[in-house]
Amino acid sequence: MANNNEDKLNTLKPYEDGFFASYPTGFTKFFRTFIPYQIIRFMVINLKMIGMIRKSHK
């Protein structure tokens, strides 16, 4: 039995918009749902924003 991704790929014609869409790997899906990683990324992004704001207020 073919999975959903294979069914979608079989119905797409070359050079349509959906033809070039990529599907996330298991590794990517893991990091998208791994809460500790998301918290760390959130803190890093916030620290970068704080640094940019500090530079603009000098």
pLDDT above 80: residue 13: no
pLDDT above 90: residue 22: no
pLDDT above 60: residue 2: no
- As a whole number of angstroms, the distance between CA 22 and CA 35 comes to 24
Residue 30 lies in a domain: yes
> What does the chain come to in residues?
58
pLDDT for position 24: 87
Residue 34 lies in a domain: yes
Two tokens, residue 52: 């940019």
Residue 42 lies in a domain: yes
- pLDDT interval class at 34 (50, 70, 90): very high
Measured from the Cβ of residue 48, the count of other Cβ atoms closer than 10 Å reads: 10
Residue 31 lies in a domain: yes
* Domain enclosing residue 55, as ranges: 25-58
- Predicted structure pTM score: 0.56
Residue 55 lies in a domain: yes
Domain count, the chain: 1
Residue 56 lies in a domain: yes
Residue 12 lies in a domain: no
Mean pLDDT to the nearest integer, 5-32:
76
